[in-house]
Amino acid sequence: MKNQSGEVNNLIKGIRQRRRRWIFVTSFLIILALVLCCAMLLLGNTIYPMNVVIRTLLGEEIPGADFAINTIRLPRMITGLFAGFAFGVAGYIFQTMLRNPLANPNILGITSGSSVAAVFCITVLHTSNTVVSIAAVIGGLITVMVMYLLSRSRTFSIGRLIIIGIGMQAMFDAVISYLIMKSSQQDIAGALRWLSGSLNGSQMSEVYPLVMIVVVFLPIMLILGKQLSMLELGEQMATSLGVATDKLRITLIVSSVLMIAIATATTGPIAFVAFLAGPIANRLVGVSASNVLPAGLVGANLVLFADLIGQFAFEYRFPVGVITGLLGAPYLIYLLIRMNRKGEL
């Protein structure tokens, strides 16, 4: 009895420690995001003091500051915050659901599906930005539906889904290269600017759909977080615990794809954010029932930090996707080497 009582006490103590760690890390990430948001509003060609920024945000018209802050910096900051959050959450969902750190929307071809639709609209149809955004969302949804249908046989196969996704990404990248090669110089500039992943030119009218999709689907992700962790135990174990795996997987996939498709339509495919956010969150928080919220916050912080670096750390300004690519590529190489040594490749 004493041994059993001691094991129960240790279990309760461990749960409390993990909960305190989750709260501490999440609070730190929220504070860091607020600091980076403030930096996005304060810094630029002209550095404004905090009181000027606050007065401008409250509606006071200050010559110069009103345009710089409300028209340029505020939409850029909100876009980076919510797009990064969406990429982070979607990446964590896919990696956890498919039990593979390589299984993120970038590598699976979902963002490439959105990109090929957007580039086609830019280079062939010459449509407006609104149509490009809608096409990017539809392209992402069609891509994931085709992947899911092709990966199903009698049972759902994670390995088959990943292989199909990688193959579709290669195909979409080839199509994008062909479209760019056949396009005019003016269209090439617009397509490459979109493909690089950038917060340049962000507008409040484009922010609303992104904010709405995150606000609507985040509660769904948080509610399903505990069941998501059960999928890591395997298909049979999750089913025996009462999880409707097919319904759960479809709900998570649709929610994640909508989030990442809207984010991609708004900013372009910002490289490696979805890939990095989940592992960083897991490393910071440790094993937890659900790291959906920390992963989203890590993604938001990565995008905001990378955009500040791209704007002010170099002689020339670089799109945020270039900086996140520089940060993510070494981790991808490290992950591939580690998985190869463990025999997971």
Domains and their CATH numbers in the chain: 2-341 (1.10.3470.10)
CB 245 within 8 A of CB 238: yes
Going by pLDDT thresholds of 50, 70 and 90, the confidence category of residue 81 is very high
Angle at 192 between CA 186 and CA 196, to 5 degrees: 155
Can you say whether residue 180 is alpha, beta or left, with left for phi > 0 and alpha for psi between -120 and 50 degrees?
alpha
**Amino acid at residue number 116:** V
Predicted TM-score (pTM) of this structure: 0.88
**152 bridge partner residues:** 156
Report pLDDT digits (tens) over 20-59: 888 999 999 999 999 999 999 998 888 888 888 888 888 8
Closest-CA residue to 301 (of 39, 50, 20): 39
Phi-psi region of 109 (alpha: psi -120 to 50; beta: other; left: phi over 0): left
- Rounded to whole angstroms, the Cα distance separating 163 from 287 reads 28
156 forms beta bridges with 152
The answer for residues whose C-beta is within 8 angstroms of residue 114's C-beta and 6 or more apart is: 136, 137, 139, 140, 143, 260, 261, 264, 265, 269
On the 0-12 / 13-18 / 19+ scale of CB atoms within 10 A, 55 is: middle
Q: Give tens-digit pLDDT for 90-107.
A: 999 888 887 777 777 777
Contact 77, 90 (CB under 8 A): no
Return all residues near 107 (Cβ < 8 A) that are at least 6 apart. 165, 166, 169, 275
| pLDDT tens column, 296-338 | 999 999 999 999 999 888 888 888 988 998 888 787 777 767 7
In the predicted model, is pLDDT for residue 4 greater than 60? no
What per-residue confidence (pLDDT) applies to 288?
62
